[in-house]
Amino acid sequence: MIMDEIESLDKHSKSYKSALTVLSYLEPEYNCSGISKDSLFYFTQSVSKGVPQSTCLVKIEQIINNSVFILALVCLAAGAVIFIVWFTQIFV
């Protein structure tokens, strides 16, 4: 239902369409609503579900933090390998 409404938005509201697409994924997955403030209702779900527990910003932050942590570990590992290769070329 909500996806049909998202598809029907005109091309001038591209950012609104993007935000609704993100919220339509986050709301049912994490039981949250809105980005910056607590909402009294869900944007993409029925009002009968009640009041949302939290904003989706907290969940987005958790997703990004997990991804950045993994990326940081990979970069450190790659840096260590490059340093070992450089060290062995210079001193061996």
pTM exceeds 0.75: no
pLDDT tens sequence across 56-72: 888 888 889 988 999 99
Say whether pLDDT at 6 is over 70: no
pLDDT tens sequence across 68-89: 999 999 999 999 999 999 999 9
Q: Which of 48, 49, 5, 51 minimizes the C-alpha distance to 24?
A: 5
Q: Which of 49, 28, 23, 75 minimizes the C-alpha distance to 15?
A: 23
